[in-house]
Structure 1
Amino acid sequence: MRRQTATSGSNPAGSSRSTRLDPLSLPVRFDAHDTRADGGVRQVELHRERVVLRRAINGMRMAVNISVSDFRGIALRETGETQLLVLIHRDPSLNIPLCESADRAEIAAAWQGWSEIFGLPQLQDGESFEPAPRRRRRNAIRWRRPRFLIRRRVGDA
């Protein structure tokens, strides 16, 4: 079995042809469609614990390292006659296409496989994604002053 990388000759994820990345052959590197990136393409590296996105915007190259646990899950999207599996993130620009096919049995098997490999839930497209709750900042100065000084009033100079 050949590795599915950008140079191996397999279809890149996001192309118009049927694509399928194998979850058992991680790590894998491929090119994906990105409208904001220079050239309309970004490089994606998938590992079991992390995802690395590399792209250039206006000549400035960047690499974004994201933990797999930061993703919400694996979503199944209906696109006409084909179905698409996408690794869903809170930020829609960080979503990653994993598999595209017209065969429902193949998509179901891939959906189950990616969900087990990453330990993420299987999501239907259109499920409501509520935003993450805001983290509370108890007291901004708390981390700069000792606890007993927080209780004391500041005197006038």
Structure 2
Amino acid sequence: MTFSPRAATEPFFAATRPDARADRGRREIAISNTHVTINRRVGGVEMHVALAVSAYRGVALCLRPGVDEALVYQVCLVHPDADLTVVLDEAFDDRNIIADWRLWARVLGLPALVEREIGRYEVAEGTPDSSAADVALPRRYRPSKTRPNFLARRKPGLTGEALVHAGEREIIARD
């Protein structure tokens, strides 16, 4: 599957998925090559969350209990915050779901993951992006560790040596 540069920012996948915390019980998801957008209403407040695809850990193949004790295969876009994890596809058999899982991982440029236990993911063996899961995410900018703007314009202190009045009789003049 190839995408033109113009289409890279336009959503190529849009869906409405169930969301237990949302007011109407659903959320709308749009995915492009570079961004994931989640829209939902919580407590009467409209929420619009846009994340870079690189903020996600990978595309995982998960197995969940379904209706009537049947197992459901899910392809999930996994984020460290579970509320931002997106279910991309679901199926009751593994005939096409594995091909879809590998396709999503390749299109989004993320590692293909397998969920061994709920919340514990491993990179799938034999995938070309096995080393991509070990790449550290960039650190966040912490403004509390820098000087405020109004202080940054001022001199941080005296640049010369401090005057020492040793050997003087009195420092304070009393007239």
1:54 paired with 2:39, answer yes
Q: Where in structure 1 do 4 or more consecutive aligned residues deviate above 4 Å?
A: 131-138
1:121-140 → structure 2 map (5 Å cutoff): 121-125=111-115, 126-127=120-121, 135=140, 137=142, 139-140=145-146
Q: Is the 8 A contact 2:60 2:121 kept in 1?
A: no
Structure 1 match to 2:22: 37
Match of 2:147 among 127, 141, 149: 141
Mapped to 1, the partners of 2:43 and 2:148 lie a distance apart of 40
1:27 paired with 2:12, answer yes
Aligned residues between the structures: 127
Mapped to 2, the partners of 1:105 and 1:114 lie a distance apart of 16
The structure with the largest alpha-carbon Rg is 2
Mapped to 2, the partners of 1:36 and 1:113 lie a distance apart of 30
Q: Is the 8 A contact 1:142 1:150 kept in 2?
A: no
Q: Is the 8 A contact 1:54 1:64 kept in 2?
A: yes
Match of 1:110 among 75, 86, 100: 100
Per-residue CA deviations over 1:110-156 (Å, capped at 9, x if unaligned) read: 11100000000011112279x9786585942176526x934648xxx
Say which structure is richer in helix: 1
The CA RMSD measured in Å over matched residues stands at 3.0
Mapped to 2, the partners of 1:52 and 1:119 lie a distance apart of 17
Letter matched to residue 141 of structure 1:
R
Structure 2 match to 1:120: 110
Runs of 5+ consecutive residues of structure 1 not aligned to the other structure: 1-25
Mapped to 1, the partners of 2:15 and 2:93 lie a distance apart of 22
TM-score normalized with structure 2 length: 0.62
Structure 1 match to 2:90: 100
% of aligned pairs identical?
29
TM-score normalized with structure 1 length: 0.68
Runs of 5+ consecutive residues of structure 2 not aligned to the other structure: 1-10, 66-70, 123-132, 160-175
Give the structure, 1 or 2, with the largest relative contact order (CA under 8 Å, sep 6 or more).
1
Mapped to 1, the partners of 2:39 and 2:27 lie a distance apart of 6
**Inter-CA distance 28–135: structure 2 relative to 1 (3 Å threshold):** closer
Q: Is the 8 A contact 2:56 2:78 kept in 1?
A: yes
Q: Is the 8 A contact 2:33 2:107 kept in 1?
A: yes
SS of 2:152's equivalent? coil
